[in-house]
Chains A and B, each alone.
Chain A
Amino acid sequence: MLTYQISGLIVASEIALSGVAEPTNTSVQPDVHIKKVSLPESLDQVIARGPNWMIAKDDFLLRVPGVARMRVRCGREIEVEIEGAEADVSPFLLGTCFGVLLHQRGELILHASAVSYNGKAIAICGPSGMGKSTMSAALCQTGCSFISDDVSTIRFRTDGKPEVLPDSRSHRLWADVIEPLALSDRRGDAVRETIQKYHVEPTISISAIPLGMILVLRQADIHDQPPVIEPLALSDAAAYLRSDVFRSTLASHMGLDKALFGQIARLLPHVKVHRLTRPEGIDRLEDTVNRVKEHIFEKLA
């Protein structure tokens, strides 16, 4: 049995999870178990389904054809029936399955990468392919520290202020980004064999960081436009954040709309939310990062 720490949870797993830190204290009881089992074809009392997934109360079944079927239960268990190579399962467990598990535990999770500056966390959220990981990696090259990649868990302290939990999963970056960012010496294994997206050793934050700013990342429709950062009105910010909840539509199917609305409403008084519209392409990254840096340094000084 292997032990990991993910988003503040201790995870005991029968499957190796690539790019995840091991806990400092291994004597703690696990919060989550990942087991290899034989899974049923279907769940009872299905609430919603898609072509390769179904949800019941506190229960979720996902199939990645040729890779595995995975079941997530009660925020505590992930069961896996492997269809292909065991080494291929990890990115899907850590992505969708762990996201669903956090939803089942009632956490507020954003589809966001997060970095910290001056003791404050900056969450960069947006759909897949927007450049969240690239942007956060570039910021880490200019004085920010890495907190989380792709999924950011936000929790409220007893005084009501939000903080981002350290994720303990490594940064994952495409080959095209690693070299321009001078990260080749920190490049680890590929996320999956034959896919040129790699684990990159980050400077990991080990404690929760107060959330200071959220950047809603979107790509400009037309090329050759400069990066733009604009503050969002509360109603727009709420709508963007709801849409950038990790696996947002699935969260609705899970009956989480009301809870998420409440969590986002609690979040907004404490955090500046801005929309960052970035031009496409690695050649425009420096320009965008400089603009974001100026913005962060000004607002979080």
Chain B
Amino acid sequence: MTGSLIWLASYPKSGNTWLRLLLANLLSDSLDATDINQIDLPQRCVIGRYAFEEITLIDSSLLRQEEVDVMRPAIVNAISAETDGDIYVKLHDAYRMLPDGKPLLGMGHARAALYVVRDPRDVVISFAFHNGTSIDRAITLMNDSNGTISRNSKRCTPQVPQLMHDWSRHVEGWIDQRDVPVHVIRYEDLHASPIDTLQEAANFLGLTIPQERVAHAVRCTQFSSLQRKEQDSGFRERIKVSTAPFFRSGRTGSWREELSIAQQQRITEAHHRVMTRFNYL
């Protein structure tokens, strides 16, 4: 069985939202850019507490993380069963197996995955602003084999906890899994050659899109335009603790100015092999 879900996976702050905006503008019939606060893309969320409770009838805030995890395949199954056509699903979860040896995201629900990878030295700066933490703390999370987001046990988070592992394991877990065909997009390529990079992703998904439409999607999502829209009307995916706009810099290589030598070393020592694999070293 092959499902109709398409995983849009990445470590946080690696370009996932940008990719969703590109896809929305690519698939839209409109000449206007999609609203950043109502992204016009057939998409579903599989990590929201509301959906979890609707499907399982259990208040997920009463569950421990391992109890939530056990039910995650059933959530994906339920969402997959009630959808038709391509449905895009944003994910920051690690691609991983549950204690019973089955994938957290179930089997047979997704027909493809796009994985966005970005230089972890740039990711960490953006991640620190996003979470309202220091860069050193963001590096600690990125180097933590049990790194998890939405795990605040003192209050109810809108999403269930998502184990990501460390950055290298996140990247390789997704790229080397064999359950779902995966296409890797380097953030830096999307930045340098957006039209070609997006066209390749569309081709991988089997979408037939005229080149002019691809160019249009890229124009609609120019970083300065996203920044302006966020400034005008806010952005619903920016979390409360963030200390900068969600669309903050959008640059590549700013780590050279913003990270200390020691911080750069902490990242490169932990992730040398995978960074080399993606030409970051």
The interface of chain A, by Cβ under 8 A from chain B, is 50-53, 62, 64-67, 91-92, 95-96, 127-129, 174-177, 191-192, 194-197, 221-225, 247, 249-250, 280-282
Contacts and interface: CB of A to CB of B under 8 A. Distances in A.
B78 A51 contact: yes
A223 B60 CA distance: 24
B267 interface: no
B64 A222 contact: no
Given A174-B155, A222-B233, A222-B234, A92 B58 contact: yes
Nearest to B56: A52
B56 A194 contact: no
A176 B155 contact: yes
Contacts of B64: 192, 194-195
Interface string B46-65: 00011001111111111110
Contacts of B240: 223, 280-281
Contact of B67 (A66, A128, A191, A221): A66
Lowest 9 A-B CB distances belong to which pairs? A51-B74, A222-B234, A176-B155, A175-B154, A221-B236, A176-B154, A174-B155, A129-B156, A196-B154
Interface of B: 37, 49-50, 53-64, 67, 70-71, 74-75, 77-78, 152-158, 233-236, 238, 240
A132 B21 CA distance: 33
A155 B77 CA distance: 38
Contacts of B154: 174-176, 196
Contact of B55 (A51, A62, A197, A281): A51
Nearest to B236: A221
Nearest to A193: B64
Contact of B71 (A51, A176, A247, A250): A51
B228 to A, nearest CB: 15
B158 A91 contact: no
B155 A175 contact: yes
Nearest to B235: A222
B58 A64 contact: yes
A192 B61 CA distance: 10
A197 B58 contact: no
A191 B62 CA distance: 8
Given A51-B56, A222-B236, 18 more contacts: A50-B56, A51-B71, A52-B56, A62-B58, A64-B58, A66-B67, A67-B67, A92-B62, A127-B53, A129-B156, A176-B155, A195-B64, A196-B154, A221-B236, A223-B238, A223-B240, A280-B240, A281-B240
Contacts of B74: 51-52
The CB with the most chain A CB atoms within 10 A, among B57, B63, B157, B158, is that of: B57
B57 to A, nearest CB: 5
B54 A249 contact: yes
